[in-house]
Structure 1
Amino acid sequence: MSLELISHPSLSERTSLGLGGTAEVEVVVRNEHDLDELSEFLTTRTLRPFVIGEGTNLLVSDTPLDMALIRIDASHGPKRVEKIDDKLIVGCSADQRLPGLLGWAQKAGLTGMEGLTGIPGSVGGGIAMNAGSYGTEIKDVLHRIRIWTPGAGLIWVDASDCEFGYRHFSCPVVPGKGLIWEAEFILSESTPRKVQAGMKDVYSKKRATQPVTARSAGCVFKNPPDKSAGLLLDQAGMKGVTLGGMGFSDIHANFLVNHGGGTAVEALELLDQARAAVLKRFDVTLETEVIVL
């Protein structure tokens, strides 16, 4: 077997919150041949598989997990694929970091993704969560994805055949849950200067309203319909509340921050406190946006 297997990988070293115990194993997939071996691996193990990207939207238990982390390390792209009228198709592997893709598009003078500036993580993770900000969601520029399942192998699927919602993605045409292997985006031609100006504008707004340099996992709660989770948390008195090494940011109440030495137990307790405070004051039940393992 040529798959790289890493025994007992540390989740605290693989997540932006810096929390988590160990998984049973991490499986590193680098090419399509490895996917064939991955299928065999998954059928012979009873471990729960979980695809991990950059770990920027995860809150992981401090205890050992009976999981097989699956990590793509294909390093393919970004690259121009084809031109359709005045649009350019750009492709990359799912492990491509989203900020790196935006930086490449800026230098190439390609517009359409500026609203995603400042969002960390990988392309695959961004698609899986339909990442978005400032009026732009990743679905808006997605052309198609190449998705893998043990039974069907690798299949190209048009974005129009996928279902997207608020921090939600599914692919009904593919049986079962699949692994996003690569993606193509459809962008428009502009100039590097104009794209850079748009990205700077978005980033400056984020710096003024979000703890962009703190150790966090982004927004921890989804926005309820027609409401801001951050505003509800702020008005419920949760902004700046701390417990041990964890706390809600004093810049944006919907960001949970590891101030140093925080634990998942502290983080989960703070989430429970926040839910209770918002429910008591506004009769609104908050749902987590961050994935809890």
Structure 2
Amino acid sequence: MLKVLDGPVLAHRTTLRLGGRALAEARAAGPGDLDGLPEALARLGGEPRMLGCGSNILADDGELPVVVVTLADGGPFDAAPEVTGETEDGRVLVRVGAAQRLPRLVSRLSAWGLCGMEGLAGIPGAVGGAVAMNAGSYGCECGAALHSVSVFSPALGHVTLGRERFRYGYRQFEVLDASGAPLGGWFLVTSATFALARCDSAVVHAAMRGNYLKKKATQPVLAHSAGCVFRNPSAENPAGKLLDAAGLKGYRIGGMAFSKMHANFMINEGNGTAKEAFSLLQLARVAVSERFRVDLELEVKVWSWW
């Protein structure tokens, strides 16, 4: 049965440690619980927001008109990675629950000698969120390895969709309806199946370790951040490079600052507020626009009352 809980304080549930209180939390332990989710959302009011590990989210201060939807640990949504077969071209199919942590999946693939996602080493979050935002790093992205995805939505119910029924791009993932148009309304990823090539386990592990150490040396992986806050305008002019050139590396407003390690990481130094975060982001957008005539777009997902 779908559990409806008191609305969580999002500062306690997001990696940026920001955010006020949601209207409620709807927690599903298994697929059957999701059947009652549309009715529960209609009764509770507010916009549904899917919450995994809370990365890539900037939640506003105050009371927010959102209902947080979560998948319970320890049940079918948290199914560990398992090999389910092979494709015609010999790639290995690995199915995993949406609530599984992405680092656990990547580590398991390394142990099995399966390559194609080693660039994602060091990215926090759950598998469902990684699919829904097409997480990527060092030339790898979830969408490229994704073979099929299981979702729930009010329009489709419970379905498993092949590659002809989804589309992905830079930090973007869309479910398509039967006509090939983007699906209207919300959807929730419940599991994903990836198609991966066989490689030497030691080579995969070495690549993963190298990618993680590179991240650790150049990004504030242990700080309270939401990851990169702006999308990269181009490979030649990534957001971090533009922000650094505009003098914003280390710049702070109140308790929020752009990291001294990587200017595209906004960090909460311990007592920051969403108001300060929004002010810092606006200042950065203006500074980069005035100096480089480039309009930065947010990569972080904003949960707000406006």
TM-score by length of 2: 0.92
Q: How far apart, in 2, do the equivalents of 1:86 and 1:169 lie?
A: 26
Letter of the aligned partner of 2:187 in structure 1?
G
The within-5 A match list for 1:274-293 is 274-293=284-303
Letter of the aligned partner of 2:24 in structure 1?
V
SS in 1 for 2:283: helix
Q: Which moved more, 1:35-44 or 1:95-104?
A: 35-44
**Count, aligned residues:** 292
> Equivalent residue for 1:184?
193
Q: How far apart, in 2, do the equivalents of 1:284 and 1:216 lie?
A: 24
Superposition deviation, residue 42 in structure 1: 2.3
1:260 partnered with 2:270: yes
Letter of the aligned partner of 2:281 in structure 1?
L
Letter of the aligned partner of 1:109 in structure 2?
G
The within-5 A match list for 1:162-241 is 162-173=166-177, 174-225=183-234, 226-241=236-251
Superposition deviation, residue 260 in structure 1: 0.8
CA displacement 1:202-244 (0-9 Å, x = unmatched): 1121122111111111100011134211000000000000111
Superposition deviation, residue 175 in structure 1: 4.7
SS in 1 for 2:78: coil
The within-5 A match list for 1:91-102 is 91-102=95-106
Specify which of 79, 84, 88 is matched with residue 82 of structure 2. Answer: 79
SS in 2 for 1:103: helix
> Equivalent residue for 1:35?
34
Say if 2:24 and 2:44, in contact at 8 Å, map to a contact too. no
Please list every run of 5 or more consecutive structure 2 residues that lacks an aligned counterpart in the other structure.
Answer: 178-182
> Equivalent residue for 2:180?
none
Say if 1:56 and 1:217, in contact at 8 Å, map to a contact too. yes
Q: How far apart, in 1, do the equivalents of 2:29 and 2:136 lie?
A: 28
> Equivalent residue for 1:121?
125
Say if 1:139 and 1:159, in contact at 8 Å, map to a contact too. no
Q: How far apart, in 2, do the equivalents of 1:32 and 1:62 lie?
A: 32
> Equivalent residue for 1:107?
111
Say if 1:115 and 1:133, in contact at 8 Å, map to a contact too. yes
Say if 2:7 and 2:68, in contact at 8 Å, map to a contact too. no
Q: Which moved more, 1:232-241 or 1:198-207?
A: 198-207
Q: How far apart, in 2, do the equivalents of 1:160 and 1:206 lie?
A: 33
Specify which of 146, 155, 176 is matched with residue 142 of structure 1. Answer: 146
> Equivalent residue for 1:90?
94
Q: How far apart, in 1, do the equivalents of 2:184 and 2:231 lie?
A: 27
Superposition deviation, residue 245 in structure 1: 1.3
Letter of the aligned partner of 2:270 in structure 1?
G
Q: How far apart, in 2, do the equivalents of 1:230 and 1:109 lie?
A: 33
Please list every run of 5 or more consecutive structure 1 residues that lacks an aligned counterpart in the other structure.
Answer: none
Q: How far apart, in 1, do the equivalents of 2:44 and 2:259 lie?
A: 40
Letter of the aligned partner of 2:162 in structure 1?
D
Q: Which moved more, 1:146-155 or 1:42-51?
A: 42-51
CA displacement 1:112-171 (0-9 Å, x = unmatched): 110111111111111111110111111111000011112321111112431111111111
CA displacement 1:37-86 (0-9 Å, x = unmatched): 21321233322111111110001111111211001122112111112353
> Equivalent residue for 2:282?
272
Q: How far apart, in 2, do the equivalents of 1:136 and 1:254 lie?
A: 19
Q: Relative to 1, partners in 2 of residues 1:164 and 1:151: Cα closer, same or farther, differing over 3 Å?
A: closer
SS in 2 for 1:91: strand
1:58 partnered with 2:53: no
Letter of the aligned partner of 1:112 in structure 2?
G
> Equivalent residue for 1:4?
3
SS in 2 for 1:12: helix
Percent of aligned positions with the same letter in both sequences?
Answer: 44
